[in-house]
Amino acid sequence: MAHSYTVTDIQVLEGLDAVRKRPGMYIGSTGSRGLHQMLWEIVDNAIDEAANGYASRIDVCLYADGSISVEDNGRGIPVGIHPEMHISGVELVFSKLHAGGKFNNDNYAYSGGLHGVGASVVNALSEWLRVEVFRDGHVYEQEYHSFAEGGKMHAGVPKYPLREVGETAKHGTRVTYLADAQVFDDIQVQFDRVSRRLRELAFLVKGVTIRLRDEREAQPRELAFCYMGGIVDFLTDMNQDKTPLHPAPIHFSGERNGILAEVAMQYVDSDKEYLYSYVNNISTGEGGTHETGFKVALTKVMNEYMKTVSAAVKEKLTFEGEDYREGLSAILSVKMKEVQFEGQTKTRLGNPEARVAVEAIVSEGLSQFLQDLGNASVASRIAEKAITAAKSRIAAKKAKKIEREKSKADSAPLVGKLSSCTGKKPELNELFIVEGDSAGGNAKMGRDRRFQAILPLRGKPLNVEKKRIEQVLQNEEFRSIITALGAGFDKSFQIQNIKYHKVIILADADQDGAHIRAILLTFFFRYYRQLITDGHVYIAQPPLYSIKKGKTTLWAHTEKQLSEAKASLGRGAEVKRYKGLGEMSKEQLWETTLDPNGRVLMQVTVEDAAACDHIVSTLMGDAVEPRKQYISEYANFNKQDKFQGNLD
């Protein structure tokens, strides 16, 4: 823990040139996701100090002007002059891309974020940034700003060299920045989104205290997170809206060849699998080699254990991996060096050595748990769960019921329902899932049939969170969607076979429409998650108002846009509130909602799979109390209509 961290530990790889021109390459987008990624990069630097044992507290503050500060009580960024670059360590970190103390493994055994890129990227995309370092009894400060001069944009330029401004007994770093409104669509981060991420990090870094303060409202809000139980507390929290089969989660950890793995697992009364993994505190929503190692080990260990279970032996049952994962809720946290992320969203671990290490750690930890006589009752319940799952799978296979239903759903004709498009290129085609026959009829007449297909829903589909897979497959509305997509279902889903690369939910802007959207998103999240993670699912945003005067018609999605439109057209403007899509003509539906050149779509993403699972289970599951508590805590019935989305 006492390893020295000096300016010579900072390595420089290249300059900062391209960030301002192509911000999406570094933070994903200039929309809400990219704006929040800026904050995550600074927070991750503080978390790395805590995760490596150098900090115990992190404070995040959101200010009224949109600026944000992040402070930790770690070692503080080195302030000395770099022997090769001849500038301070602080200036190196914030003004040079790929400069930081994370490129060797001496200062940070494990790190997240962009590994030295983060601080400089945040600086480059900020209107201004100030860093304060508390180190060796002194306070050091440096400010940076972005400005245009001579037709050229200068990003993240130091206003002055690092300077000493006082004395202190504190240690650590505070970074305060204001995201540049010329780069981002909106510079105000979302309190709930920030608090969820900070809470998750507090679970993943056991014992660190993370405080969040929001000063943007008249009455400031404050939250504090600290979990001494780490991922065990995390799993307990995740399962509060489920029915556990054993009271305490199974917990073990270990190390192999420099790779650390920690597991918390608990079986719940469900036929679904809930496995969430992290690498260096970064969510790996697309899984990867570490998850493969976990699943292989679980299957091997349980196969051996089931040889000692009389009920399984007596009935000569043969088990498969999915039998042991039915109803399994688990968190896998891995710490390792030289991480290689892959996949569409760079959230799948690719290191082959991780599979070997995790498999060994899980095999040893789970075997020891099952062999401990004190855990006999828990082991017995797990065995009973696996036996029930195996019997159900075998019975279904013998009857060929599920497979037959899947086949029917995937190939059955949709006479009178789906109005397909003529285009043969899936990457250009769009499927609109439309609420109601009236709106569906207008959409069919108003669409561009070359690339737009329309599937009207007749009635409200099932809430799949409360149903087994057989019931889902028997539902006519879901069978229609499965058939239209033409790429299989659940475990047989093959994303490369989808017929439409945009699947767009189009529902009324009322309570029924919101419920239908929630049901459809739950369906996609549970059975077509890759469709969401790869960015194929969207929610259409039809306008709520038309404002007409003479031959001019404006459209408004929000009360604010309505006020602006009325002011623009002046007195005498006629305002119409659309309660449902069926009130629009085919021409109006095309102009506002179907036309790619004028419509607004919200892309559905899964930034935090564990949080998303928790919300889906809470709002769509059987348990009533957690749902009431969530609504009581988060619902604001006095809010005006809010609109968030991305122009497509």
Q: Report the distance separating Cα 459 and Cα 257, nearest Å.
A: 56
Beta bridge partners of 601: 540, 646
Which long-range contacts does 548-552 make (Cβ < 8 Å, 24+ apart)? 548/573, 548/574, 548/576, 549/573, 549/574
Do 537 and 505 contact (CB within 8 A), yes or no? yes
Nearest in space to 540 (alpha carbons), one of 513, 515, 576, 565: 513
Helix (H, G, I), strand (E, B) or coil at 618: helix
Q: Report the 10 Å Cβ neighbour count for 458.
A: 13
The neighbouring-strand residues paired with 330 are 265, 275
Q: Residue 435 catalytic?
A: yes
Is the separation of the CB atoms in 326 and 308 below 8 Å?
no
Residues 6+ apart with CB under 8 A from 290: 261, 277, 279, 284, 332, 334, 349, 351, 354, 355, 358
**Are the C-beta atoms of 307 and 313 separated by less than 8 Å?**
yes
Helix (H) or strand (E) holding 43: helix 32-51
Phi, psi of 138 (to 5 degrees): -120, 155
The amino acid at 523: F
Residue 28's identity, in one-letter code, is G
Task: Mention every residue, 6+ apart, whose C-beta is less than 8 A from residue 582.
Answer: 436, 438, 439, 442
Phi, psi of 538 (to 5 degrees): -135, 160
| Long-range Cβ contact pairs of 622-631 (< 8 A, separation 24 or more) | 622/466, 623/241, 623/242, 623/243, 626/240, 626/241, 627/241
Asked whether the beta carbons of 312 and 387 are under 8 A apart, the reply is: yes
d(CA 648, CA 591): 14
Question: Pick the catalytic residue: 9, 91, 508, 607?
Answer: 508
Question: How far, in Å, are 56, 114, 324, 404 from residue 300 at the CA level?
Answer: 39, 36, 10, 30
Tokens representing 322 are 């999915």
Bridge-partner residues for 552, per DSSP?
Answer: 549
Where residue 156 falls (left for φ over 0; alpha for ψ -120 to 50; beta otherwise) is left
Active site residue 14: no
Distances (CA, A) of 221 to 388, 421, 642: 48, 50, 21
Q: How far apart are CA 561 and CA 569, in angstroms?
A: 12
Which member of 512, 574, 587, 625 is catalytic?
512
Q: How far is CA 633 from CA 188, 518, 609, 617, in A?
A: 22, 19, 21, 16
How far apart are the C-alpha atoms of 55 and 205, rounded to whole Å? 11
CA atoms within 13 A on the CB side of 59: 12
- Pick from 368, 380, 284: which is nearest to 333 by CA? 284
Q: Based on the residue annotation, tell me whether 508 is a catalytic residue of this protein.
A: yes
- Active-site option among 106, 470, 510, 625: 510
| Residues designated catalytic | 435, 508, 510, 512
